[in-house]
Structures are given as C-alpha cells and as structure tokens.
Chain A
Amino acid sequence: MADFEVPELQEIPVIPKLKEGAMAHSSPFISKEQFQIPLGYPGELVENWEEKVYEKMDDLRKRYRSFQVYLDACVKCGACTDKCHYYLGTSDPKNMPVARQDLLRKVYRGKFTAAGKFWTKLGMPWMVGAAEMTKELLDEWYSYFHQCSQCRRCSVYCPYGIDTAEISMAAREIMDSVGVGQKYCNEIIGKVFKIGNNLGLPQPALVDTLEGLEEEVQEDTGVAVKFPLDVKGADILLVTPSADFFAEPHVDGLIGYAKVFHETGASWTMSSHASEAGNFGMFIGSYENMRRVSRRIREAAIELGVKRIVFGECGHAWRIAYSFLNTLAGPWDFLDPNYPVPQHICEYTYDAIQAGKLKFDKSQNDWRTMTFHDSCNVARASRMGPKPGGQFEIPRAVIKAVCNNFHDMPAETIGEATFCCGGGGGLLTDDLMEIRVKGAKPRAEALKSVVEEQGVTHMAAICAICKSQFTKVLPYYGFTMDQIVSVHQLVGDAIVLTKSDSDE
C-alpha cells in the first residue's frame, strides 16, 4: 500500500530513538510562477536571495514582536522534544519542535544578535549556534517547515510559551518572498481569489451540487430542507469549507447544518463569493493574503445584508474567525449585536438544543460508538461559548445529545493536549503522504485504544482537513476510511424533522 515503512502502532506511546535524517527527503512540490504571482510573490528563486531572506526576517521581527521574542527566548530545555506528532511518528530529530525552530533561529542569531554577529565576523558562528544562510539550509527549511502542521501542541508544553506555528509560518513567508513557495497552498489561495473557494467550485457548480442535496434529503426524509445560496436579506450567512460541498464525510455535515437551520426555522444562506471558510493565507504566514481571503466574507455579508455569520466545521477557519476576523475584516458593526461575531455551527446547534428547539431520535446513532477528535486549531487557538474550555465541551455536548454511546480517547491525547490529525497547516497534499501517515500515528494509537477497550466504532471531527486526512490515512493503520465522520452528520442522522414546508 505504501512505498515507505508504515510505523507499527504501540500500546503505550514510546519516545522513539533518534533516526537522523529519516525525513530529510520529504519535500512538497514547489510552486510555479503561475501560482506565485497572484499572491504577490516572485515566480522563482530571486537573485541575491540570501540578502532578501535577511531583509524579510528583519521585516517580520519588526512587524511581529512575538516572532522576535520566540527567537530570543528559547533556552533549549527540551520540554517540546517529544510533543510533536511528526517526531513521534518519524523519529527524525529535526522534527523536534526546538530543532525545527533552530533551522531559522540560528540564522536569526547570526544576523540579529550581538554575540552572533561577533562570532560570525570571526568566521566561527557555530560558537553561539549561529549560521549563515546557504542553499542547503534553504532546502532544509523547505523540507522541515513543511513537516510542521502548525498545530501548536509543543507550545502547550513550552515553559516560555513559544509558538512553533508562528516560526513555521514566518519561515514559509520568508521562503515565499524569495520565490520558493509550496504548490499546494499557493495554488489554492489563488483559486479563492479567482473563484471564491479552495476547490475552485464556480457558482453554477455550487447551485447544481446544492440542488442535488435538496433532492437527496427530500428523498430520504420526505421534508423539503433547503440549501440556500446567495439569498439576499437572509439573517444568517453560513461560511463553510468548500470540502463540505464536495467530499465525504464532509457533505453529511453540511446536510446536518441544513437540517438544524430548517428545524430552528432560521433564515439562512450560503454565499458563492465567500464559499470557503478555510484560509490558507495563515498556513503560509501571509497577513496580506489572509486578509484578502477574509475580506471576501465581509463583502458577502454586506452584499447579502445578513445579520449574523456562522462558521461550519473547519478547524483553521475557526481559529481565524474567532481570533483574527475583526482585525482582518472588521468592524462588524452592521451585524446584529445580540449574537457573537462570528458563531460556530456547534454553538448554534448547542444553543438550539438548550432552548429545546431540536428533537432527536438518538437510537438512529445506536449502531455507532463514538469518540471525538479535538481539532488542533479549535482546541488550542479558539474557544466556543462563554466559558473557558467551551471548545471541548460544546462539541461533546452536541454529540452526546444525539448519540447514546460516547467514549473519550486517553486524556493526554485530547483537549488542549490533542494530537493533530497529521494533515493540517498546508500538509494535506498527496506529495506529503509519508509525513501525513507517520504524523497520524499518535492519534491512531489513541483511537486504537478506545476501539479495543471501549468498542468505539467511529471518530467525529469538526475540521475539513481532519476529515480528509483521516479518510486517507486511517486505512494505513488497519481502520476503514468511513470510521471518520462529521459531528453534524451525527446530528443530521438523529434529528427529527417536525417542520414541513407549510410551517415555514
């Protein structure tokens, strides 16, 4: 099945013995000129690129104080070393977060610290762990900064709170600025600018797809549940990952949202202009591109005249929505101030459950025994509801409201300690399959333990990347692709539709 060695799952996670250079060969396809230019980057490695790397690093450390603090603060205590799923899955020491960061930190040190400059001048930068930029090092950056999914698990354990994700984002931004971009991310961002979503689904295809879903739900339930698109004057704009239109099990989640909106009697719409919740601008550390992607949501909200914005199941989208949306695309003073801006679909459903607006036949999910995978960016970079930890409690409360059988995976693998699916941060591409499979090992081990001990049959997630990643990689570990489901798929399967068309 694989042209690399699939790691064996262990019962008790073991910190692996180092295998130096084990993943040095891993490197995603390089972006071509046609994908670079629309994002404002050079089409190929520029002349004098070493100087440009230093200039960009200087620019970033001045723009983002955090970046410089992270580069200065590390004391190499080692607390992060065994926290990265990619290190645990590959044994490559450069996948220890501290070592990955140091690929960049040593260049920073040589150029921007007194000790580094001094020893570099004497021709001995290594005296203080500094280094000068070389093509070899650039290649190493390209390889290892694309073996980080920016999941921030290491940051939870760092006594200084150093955010590796931010270093990886900066490294990618620096590389893009000298013409070395990643094809997967940059092609996708270009599609959002051109068409409105990561997949490149134009409006007529969206219409056709949504009409098909309306027919499907009508056939299944006898109820005319609508999937409205570009409806002016609707109350709620749903912004959801385009994978929800396209792929399985994502689409079953979309069907779930539509049934919830139907049952709560909501006036809602999706937008073809903002038909993407995900924002790959974050993966490449580009504020400008992230902003351009986010602005589309603002434009759509104004154009359609909505009062509220709700985000579908999308991990990174929710980080951006929850943490940065106001800065990127605000102010949102034209929306209804009685609701948080934005809301997560899990919050929406949870509130409706609390208000007694939804009826469920939980037995519809009795054939499943569920567990829940906390998606990294929801877990460690956002919140839901009014209380701390709501991002863990609310999705579980929704699942438990619609399923009778639920067991959590081991505590050290969920909540804020959750293991990334292995495909986040711009790594969900076939050219990185080896690192994706190996990075999923810790999650697969945790899943295996509840499958064997509690009889768990399915794992739910609230992130399009997690869902696609698990669909692809779980089979490498002896699971089946359909064991990963959407949270709102469970909601949609159990919901009792009481409102017919005439009630609307």
Chain B
Amino acid sequence: MGIEVNGKVLETDEEGYLANLNEWTPEVATAMAKEEDVDLTENHWEVINFLREYYEEYQIAPAVRVLTKAIGKKLGPDKGNSKYLYELFPYGPGKQACKYAGLPKPTGCV
C-alpha cells in the first residue's frame, strides 16, 4: 500500500500508517486527511504538531491524559478533554491523529 504525496508514492502499512516515519511532511497529513474526508483546521494541526514533538522526544505517542492536558494548555481548558479530541478525530485521537502525524499506530489493549 502507499499514499501519493506531491506525485511521489510513500509506503504505508496495511492500515495506512506511514512505513518510514522520516518521510513525513505536512503534505502527508493533508493527503491522509483528504482520503478520509477530513479538512485539517488549525486545531487539528495543534494536535498533529504536539504528537510529533512528543514522539521526537519519547519515541511513543503521548498517553491520552498527556495529550488532553497539552491541548488544553494550547487551545483553552474547554478543549483539553477527549470529547473534544474525538470531535476533531472521530476514529480516535490516538489512532487517527497518530496516522496523520506519521506516527506508528499505538498497540496493545487500547
């Protein structure tokens, strides 16, 4: 499988997650979102950017409470909860947002 970004096909896994994390560019997120009929707003980007920063430091996506807290600080306390994140990413912030951010899918009992 793959996803076409700027005329180049990037390899993805069975579920559409980027195979090579360092191939990520913002255009990848836009292309993935487009495939799922999601328009990326500024708030989506706040989440995506935070995920990437966190991954850079810890080699894992942030836990849900870490994410909601960070988003609450950036976008206001009314948005620092998983309900809001599910509004942004209906398939689940953990999974859908990670995909757009070029992170691997969280595994385990989640």
Contact = CB atoms under 8 A, between A and B. Distances in A.
A55 interface: no
Contacts of A64: none
A246 B63 contact: yes
Contact of B108 (A183, A197, A208, A209): A197
Nearest to B94: A247
A209 B64 CA distance: 9
Interface string B4-20: 00000000001100000
Contacts of B59: 200, 202, 205
Interface residues of B, number: 21
B15 A187 contact: no
A430 B15 contact: yes
B30 interface: no
Contacts of A300: none
A208 B107 contact: no
A478 to B, nearest CB: 17
A204 B107 contact: no
A353 B14 CA distance: 48
Contacts of B64: 246-248, 251
A369 B95 CA distance: 31
Give the 9 A-B CB pairs with smallest separation, nearest first: A198-B108, A464-B109, A205-B58, A243-B109, A199-B108, A247-B110, A246-B63, A209-B63, A465-B109
B79 interface: no
Contact of B65 (A184, A213, A464): A213
A250 B57 CA distance: 24
A251 B58 CA distance: 19
B110 to A, nearest CB: 4
Interface range, A side: 35 or more
Most chain A beta-carbon neighbours within 10 Å: one of B57, B59, B110: B110
A188 interface: yes
Contacts of A242: 108-109
Interface in B32-69: 57-60, 62-66, 69
A199 B109 CA distance: 8
Interface string A245-257: 1111011000000
Nearest to B57: A204
A248 B14 contact: no
Contacts of A183: 14
B58 A468 contact: no
A213 B64 CA distance: 11
Contacts of B69: 212, 216
Contacts of A243: 108-110
Contacts of B109: 198, 241-243, 247, 250, 278, 314, 428, 464-465, 467-468
